[in-house]
């Protein structure tokens, strides 16, 4: 009777803790994966999140539900769709973006806001390199799974508990010891401290031989983990306020990794994925919706460099400006000062990397809600000013500017892109449609000499 009671207690604990899919290897001790491969993730109490680009607004003009597009009469010539071919960037300024190879692999990183965080912009850039016959994979996986509207290339699916909190650099009033994603995730030990990753591709294939967890644990901590639904293991993390790394490995490429903090407090900065074959191009994306370049201005460059643990980049891209330009009273001098601080920190971390600043796309004004009476080119002119500041300040730090707004025809181009069929603009005249992001990705790939 005591044994039955003990078994029921363990079963109930498992069901509430990790919904049995994590606990099953604990009871079976050596649960083998199903014939034909490893089980897909089954998240506790919910479906696994599959970080795939949105396919909204596939055709037609922008369906401005709940808003009001300026009339064609008010727009006049601004209703005409303009797409300006952007030139190749000077070869000497983008040498670090030259396609890699097995003998000279490249490492490239892209930081930005919602434009790059989700949707098809990032996949379009990756595909441009793959179309050249190059292998392209993620190297540093940011810890931003579970954050809204973020797609993480290199991650097929994930499950994350509700106890995780987020510290984001661009919202901080002070300098932060922050990881490469410009965001840290923090959790205390408990039933909702789990984080599960499916590292396979769409065809359920994987070449991740080892996962290195990048973290700090000020008072020490312990992590329980399971690789590919097999035996649970525990790793103890020493007390350390600075960034450390622990390797989690198996005797075969890793399909799924399930983690739970069983003791202490963990500050997660990301994962370094070591593959069986080094890709021609390691391409990492660090996008956070609503982000600004202030994230780089607030980052402690010494702490960030340490958190990379030897991972460096040949080419870096910063795509910011839309959120900085959301204030009709935009202060160009303050922005230039902040951007100088951001690029100074960037150069402390990556002194020799080729650097591209992608300016904001054009933004329109809807005739409804707050700001509905603003002149049509209010935000367009601000974005134009932001691009000019990026060009001027960037040149002092060895960064070349790429003019997204000019691709759209200049200030007011958002209206013409909204009038395209299919539409190239989103419902809010701030974000683009999937077709618009794909067109932008192809254009940037052309300027980087990755595509015709």
Domain limits for position 272: 2-52+67-447
Give the pLDDT mean for 106-129.
Answer: 97
Query: Is residue 62, in this structure, part of any structural domain at all?
Result: no
pLDDT of residue 318: 98
> Could you report the per-residue pLDDT of 124-164, keeping only the tens digit for each?
999 999 999 999 999 999 999 999 999 999 899 999 999 99
User: Confidence band (pLDDT; 50, 70, 90) for 99?
Assistant: confident
- pLDDT on residue 381: 98
Per-residue pLDDT, 179 = 97
pLDDT at 26 over 60: no
* pLDDT of the residue at 180: 97
Cβ–Cβ contacts within 10 Å for residue 96, how many?
18
pLDDT value, residue 50: 60
| pLDDT value of position 51 | 58
What's the pLDDT at 59?
A: 41
Note whether residue 61 is domain-resident.
Answer: no
Please tell me the distance from the alpha carbon of residue 401 to that of residue 281, in angstroms, as a whole number: 22
pLDDT tens-digit series, residues 155-202: 999 999 999 999 999 999 999 999 999 999 999 999 999 999 999 998
Q: How does pLDDT run across 405-438, given as a tens digit for each residue?
A: 999 999 999 999 999 999 999 999 999 999 999 9
Residue 172: both structure tokens together = 């901080």
Q: Residue 251's pLDDT band (boundaries 50, 70, 90)?
A: very high
Is 57 within the bounds of a domain? no
Local confidence band at 48 (pLDDT 50, 70, 90 cut-offs):
low
60 in a domain, yes or no? no
Name which of 89, 117, 80 is nearest 419 in CA terms: 80
Q: Which contacts qualify for 201-205: CB closer than 8 Å, 24 or more apart? A: 201/156, 202/156, 204/37, 204/156, 204/255
**Model pTM?**
0.89
Compute the distance between CA of residue 335 and CA of residue 386 in angstroms, rounded to an integer: 8
Segment 16-45 mean pLDDT: 52
**Token pair belonging to 214:** 């990048």
* Confidence tier at 102 by pLDDT (50, 70, 90): confident
Q: Which residue has the higher pLDDT, 434 or 59?
A: 434
Q: How many domains does the chain have?
A: 1
The verdict on residue 185 lying in a domain is yes
The C-alpha angle 436, 438, 442, rounded to 5 degrees, equals 115
For residue 100, name the pLDDT band (cuts at 50, 70, 90). confident
Q: What is the rounded CA–CA span in Å between residue 101 and residue 29?
A: 43
Instruction: Grade residue 370 by pLDDT with cuts at 50, 70 and 90.
Output: confident
75: left (phi over 0), alpha (psi -120 to 50) or beta: alpha
Q: Average pLDDT for residues 351-363, to the nearest whole number? A: 98
What angle (nearest 5°) sits at the alpha carbon of residue 357, between those of residues 354 and 359? Answer: 165
Above 70 in pLDDT, residue 260?
A: yes
| Measured distance CA(284)–CA(106) in Å, rounded | 11
User: With helix as H, strand as E and coil as C, how does 36-98 read?
Assistant: CCCCCCCCCCCCCECCCCCCCCCCCCCCCCCCCCCCHHHHHHHHCCCCCCCCCCCHHHCHHHC
Higher pLDDT, 143 or 13: 143
CATH code assigned at 103: 3.40.50.1110
pLDDT at 25 over 70: no
The chain-wide mean pLDDT, for the chain, equals 89
- pLDDT for res 369: 72
Residue 370 in domain: yes
Instruction: Let me know if residue 159 belongs to a domain.
Output: yes
Tell me what the mean pLDDT of segment 203-219 comes to.
96
For residue 217, tell me if it sits in a domain.
yes
CA–CA dist 322, 291 (Å, integer): 9
363-390 mean pLDDT: 93
Residue predicted with more confidence, 103 or 349: 349
pLDDT of residue 60: 46
């Amino acid at each position: 009777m005591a044994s039955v009671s003990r078994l029921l207690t363990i079963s109930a604990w498992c069901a509430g803790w990790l919904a049995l899919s994590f606990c099953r290897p604990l009871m079976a001790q050596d649960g083998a994966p199903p014939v034909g491969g490893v089980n897909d993730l089954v998240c506790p109490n919910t479906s696994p999140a599959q970080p795939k680009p949105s396919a909204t607004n596939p055709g037609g003009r922008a369906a401005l539900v709940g808003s009001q597009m300026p009339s064609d009469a008010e727009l006049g010539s601004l209703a005409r769709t303009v797409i300006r071919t952007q030139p190749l960037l000077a070869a000497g300024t983008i040498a670090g973006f030259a396609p890699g190879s097995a003998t000279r692999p490249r490492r490239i990183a892209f930081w930005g806001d919602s434009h790059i965080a989700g949707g098809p912009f990032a996949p379009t850039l990756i595909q441009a390199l793959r179309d050249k016959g190059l292998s392209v994979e993620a190297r540093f996986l940011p810890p931003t799974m579970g954050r809204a509207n973020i797609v993480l290339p290199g991650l097929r699916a994930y499950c994350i508990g509700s106890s995780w909190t987020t510290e984001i650099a661009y919202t901080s009033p002070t300098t932060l010891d922050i990881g490469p994603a410009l965001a840290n995730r923090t959790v205390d030990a408990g039933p909702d401290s789990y984080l599960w990753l499916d590292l396979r591709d769409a065809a359920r294939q994987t070449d991740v031989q080892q996962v290195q967890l990048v973290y700090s644990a000020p008072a020490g901590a312990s992590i329980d983990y399971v690789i590919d639904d097999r035996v649970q293991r525990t790793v103890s993390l020493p007390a350390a306020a600075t960034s450390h790394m622990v390797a989690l490995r198996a005797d075969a490429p890793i399909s799924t990794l399930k983690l739970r903090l069983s003791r202490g407090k963990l500050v997660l900065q990301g994962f370094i994925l070591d593959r069986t074959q080094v890709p021609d191009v390691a391409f990492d994306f660090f996008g956070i919706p609503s982000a600004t370049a202030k994230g780089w201005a607030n980052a402690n460059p010494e702490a960030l460099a340490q958190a990379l643990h030897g991972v460096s980049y040949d080419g870096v891209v910063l795509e910011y400006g839309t959120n900085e330009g959301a204030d009709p009273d935009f202060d160009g001098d303050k922005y230039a000062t902040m951007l100088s601080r951001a690029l100074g920190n960037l150069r402390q971390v990556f002194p020799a990397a080729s650097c591209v600043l992608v300016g904001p796309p054009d933004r329109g004004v809807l005739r409804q809600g707050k700001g509905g009476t603003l002149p049509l080119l209010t935000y367009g002119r601000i974005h134009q000013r932001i691009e000019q500041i990026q060009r001027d300040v960037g040149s002092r730090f060895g960064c070349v500017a790429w003019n997204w707004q000019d691709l759209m025809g200049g200030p007011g181009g958002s209206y013409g892109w909204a009038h395209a069929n299919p539409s190239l603009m989103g419902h809010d005249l701030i974000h683009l449609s999937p077709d618009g992001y794909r067109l932008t990705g192809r254009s940037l790939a052309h300027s980087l000499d990755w595509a015709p």
